[in-house]
Structure formats: C-alpha cells, structure tokens
Amino acid sequence: MDYPLQLSFKLLALSRQLSVRDARGQLLFYVKQKALKLKESVTVFGDEGQTLPLYTIKADRVLDFNARYNFADTAGRHLGSVRRRGMRSIWKAHYEVYDEADRLDLEIKEENAWTKVADALLGEVPLVGMFTGYLFHPAYLVTRPTDPNAAPALRLVKQPAFFEGKFTLTKHTDLSPTHESRALLALLMTILLERARG
C-alpha cells in the first residue's frame, strides 16, 4: 500500500460511512455501517457503489463491552479478529488483534488519553464544542506485543476537520501483507467503535 493512507468518514450521515484512500487518492476500502443493529456486522467494499465486497467484520455477541470482531474474506475464510480490552479501555483505548489461529498478533493503543478527555469535556461547551475537532487530535499506535520496546508499526492520527472525521495512517516499520491487512481491518473497527463511544 502507498502510505500515508487517508481515512475519512462523514459526521452528519445517518449511517457511518468510512473510506480509505492511498497517498495517490485511490480508494482502497469503503465501509457503510448499518445503523441500529444489535449485533455488529460490517462489510468492507473496494468501491463506493458497494458492488465489490472484500471483507466482513462480525461481532461474536450482541452489544457486549468485550465483544470480539472477526474478520473474514469473501470466501468466508477467517483472517483474525480484534477485541477491546474491557476495563483497560475505559481510560485509554486498548485493543488486541489476533491472527487466524487466535494468537495475539498486534495491539492498538491510544497514545494519550488526556486528548480524549479534553475533547469530551470541551465538546459539551456551547460554541467551543464546534472547534474541538480542530483542537484535539487523538492518535493510536499499532505495536507488536512480542517486542514492546520496538517502534510502532503504524500510527493513526486524527486530523483537523469540521464536517467529517479525517485520519492519517503512517507506516513506521515493515509488515507482511497479511499483517498489514489485519492491522487495517482492526483499525477500521477501532475507529467505528471509538466514534460510537464519543
């Protein structure tokens, strides 16, 4: 993939719509999350017309704080999963990414929890709340749990924007294509879940 990747979703849409584009502006993934579903199910498409399904992401249970979200390709082959670390994620977002054999493969951690707190508090202040998207920029790091001292493999940072959520994904260390796809699917689900949390 040609980094940095640009992730964006419309804030004022009835259902969440998320697109991923490479450094040349070419669309890689498009997600339109269905609203009001008890058991989360997301289809990742290769086009905005939603005619080219690439992956599915499905929750293993209904509305649970510790739900696991399983990734599969169009043939139904299990590619891995992502799970929020329950109580650890209340203060600072922490997700675990598992491979196809259910082994812990990667972790996604919020870089600075105070950014989220400040964004939430000031977001409630009349008029000031309109500008929090320009003031605070949460970041998420994708790391390997087997090498906690290594540089993060990927870093996702929210960018200033008014009427859409914009993120930039940069790559800092090499990943195999399988790891890269799994990490990107996990980040897509992380953004959707964190957005739902506020």
Residues 6+ apart with CB under 8 A from 7: 18, 19, 20, 156, 166, 167, 168, 169, 187, 188, 191
Enumerate the β-bridge partners of residue 155.
141, 170
The CATH number that applies at residue 43 is 2.40.160
Domain coverage including residue 11: 5-197
pLDDT beyond 70 at 60: yes
Determine the Cα–Cα distance for residues 32 and 16; give it in Å rounded to an integer: 6
Q: What is the pLDDT of residues 12-27, one digit of tens each?
A: 656 778 999 999 999 9
Residues 6+ apart with CB under 8 A from 52: 45, 46
Of 71 and 175, the structure prediction assigns the larger pLDDT to: 71
At 1 the pLDDT is: 87
- pTM here is 0.85
Terminal-to-terminal C-alpha distance of the chain: 30
Q: What is the pLDDT of residues 133-162, one digit of tens each?
A: 556 678 899 999 888 777 899 999 988 776
Enumerate the β-bridge partners of residue 133.
none
pLDDT, averaged across the chain: 83
How many domains, the chain?
1
Of 115 and 107, the structure prediction assigns the larger pLDDT to: 107
CA count, 13 A, side-chain hemisphere, 22: 8
At 9 the pLDDT is: 81
**H-only helix segments in 34-153:** 88-91, 113-123, 132-135
Determine the Cα–Cα distance for residues 166 and 18; give it in Å rounded to an integer: 10
pLDDT beyond 90 at 57: yes
Q: For residue 150, report the phi and psi dihedrals to the nearest 5 degrees.
A: -75, 160
Angle, CA of 51, 54 and 60, to the nearest 5°: 115
- Hey, what are 39's tokens? 């058991």
| Average of per-residue pLDDT across 102-119 | 79
Q: How many helices (H) and strands (E) does the chain have?
A: 4, 12
CA distances from 174 to 91, 135, 154, 157, 166 (A): 30, 31, 9, 19, 24
| Percentage of the residues of the chain whose pLDDT score is greater than 90 | 48
Q: What is the dihedral of CA 69, 74, 77, 81, to 10 degrees?
A: -20
Q: 85 pLDDT band (50/70/90 cuts)? A: confident
